[in-house]
Structure 1
Amino acid sequence: MLDIRFSSVLRAMLYLAAAAEGDEPTVSSGRLADALDTNPSLVRKLLVPLNAGGLVESTRGRSGGARLSRPAAEITLAEIYRCAVGEKPLWACRPESEHVCPVTTNAAEYFARLTAEVEGAVLQSLGHRTLADALREMRGLDRTP
């Protein structure tokens, strides 16, 4: 099963970016949960690494909520990805088995190199896109009148 943390966190960040353009840049966890079709508790958990990574600021209390800590044009999707998944590799390698041939001897090393190469390409691609770019692209997809 594929991990959905990045897509969930990206949706939250896009929502916060859109809110930052309006009069109320701070969004409650309840409102964010409604927008993401989830519960406020999960939203607060998703915000923890974003807060630690300096991408959002959160305030507690009745009028509290979350907001971007800097402009969307200064936040890359690579930063969001790293906060969402941490150091977890893109793919997990099967445990090593007994080394009885070149495949079983080298599979883990090969897979680790392949994973690092692919993840580097993903981070490079995401590093060229900002949250503002993503929001602009999404608005371009809007087909509703």
Structure 2
Amino acid sequence: MNEHVLDIRFSSALKALLYLAVTAEQDPADPPTSSSAQLAEVLATNASLVRKLLVPLVHGGLVESTKGRAGGARLAKPAEEITLAEIYRCSVGDKPLWACRPDTAASCEVTANTAEFFSRLSADTEEAVLNVLASRTLADSLAEVRALDVTAAAPGTAR
């Protein structure tokens, strides 16, 4: 049953990096770090899970992390240089977007060909998703999030 659990690593990583992008604006020359406790509060999770989430982002060169009492995480490069595709690949790895059902005995043209069909469909879909994510940067996404907040706060709109 675990293979059917919704994977939230990408959305969690994106949210963490958006938060780090906001904090980087405070002092672009020497951005402050955010502790795993601060990020855990933003993500509504615990600091241990945040540290695990950051590991592939550090290995991917998107986040710098320092240990110790005064340590924390910050963006390794400007938000304008980080694409959502990079965040996706770092957080999810090579895990396919969808999992195909295991092959069954070929008893007709459908069962004989659906695994290959689904494999091709999955590859095409993943390519399309990665193309969309590659066209958007972390900075673009932060601007979009802020625009949504302005829209939500506008007079006469429900919140």
With the shorter chain as reference, the TM-score category is: over 0.9
Aligned partner (choices 88, 101, 114) of residue 108 of structure 2: 101
User: TM-score, with normalisation over the residues of structure 1?
Assistant: 0.97
Alpha-carbon distance between aligned partners in 2 of 1:18 and 1:112, rounded to the nearest angstrom: 39
Alpha-carbon distance between aligned partners in 2 of 1:138 and 1:25, rounded to the nearest angstrom: 21
SS at match of 1:88: coil
Alpha-carbon distance between aligned partners in 2 of 1:64 and 1:25, rounded to the nearest angstrom: 10
How far is the alpha carbon of 1:64 from its aligned partner?
A: 0.2
Q: Percent identity?
A: 66
How far is the alpha carbon of 1:96 from its aligned partner?
A: 0.3
Equivalent residue number for residue 121 of structure 2: 114
Alpha-carbon distance between aligned partners in 2 of 1:144 and 1:27, rounded to the nearest angstrom: 27
Alpha-carbon distance between aligned partners in 2 of 1:7 and 1:131, rounded to the nearest angstrom: 13
Listed as ranges, the gaps of 5+ residues in structure 2 are 155-159
Equivalent residue number for residue 11 of structure 1: 15
- Structure-to-structure mapping, 1:77-92, within 5 angstroms: 77-92=84-99
**1:12 maps to amino acid:** A
Segments of 4+ in structure 1 off by > 6 A? none
Listed as ranges, the gaps of 5+ residues in structure 1 are none
SS at match of 1:90: coil
Deviations, residues 65-89 of structure 1 (Å, cap 9, x unaligned): 0000000000000000001110000
Alpha-carbon distance between aligned partners in 2 of 1:15 and 1:77, rounded to the nearest angstrom: 14
Q: Is 1:69 the counterpart of 2:76 in the alignment? A: yes
Deviations, residues 94-133 of structure 1 (Å, cap 9, x unaligned): 0000011111111111101000000000000000000000
- Structure-to-structure mapping, 1:122-141, within 5 angstroms: 122-141=129-148
SS at match of 1:89: coil
**1:8 maps to amino acid:** S
Alpha-carbon distance between aligned partners in 2 of 1:129 and 1:61, rounded to the nearest angstrom: 33
Residue-pair matches, total: 145
User: TM-score, with normalisation over the residues of structure 2?
Assistant: 0.88
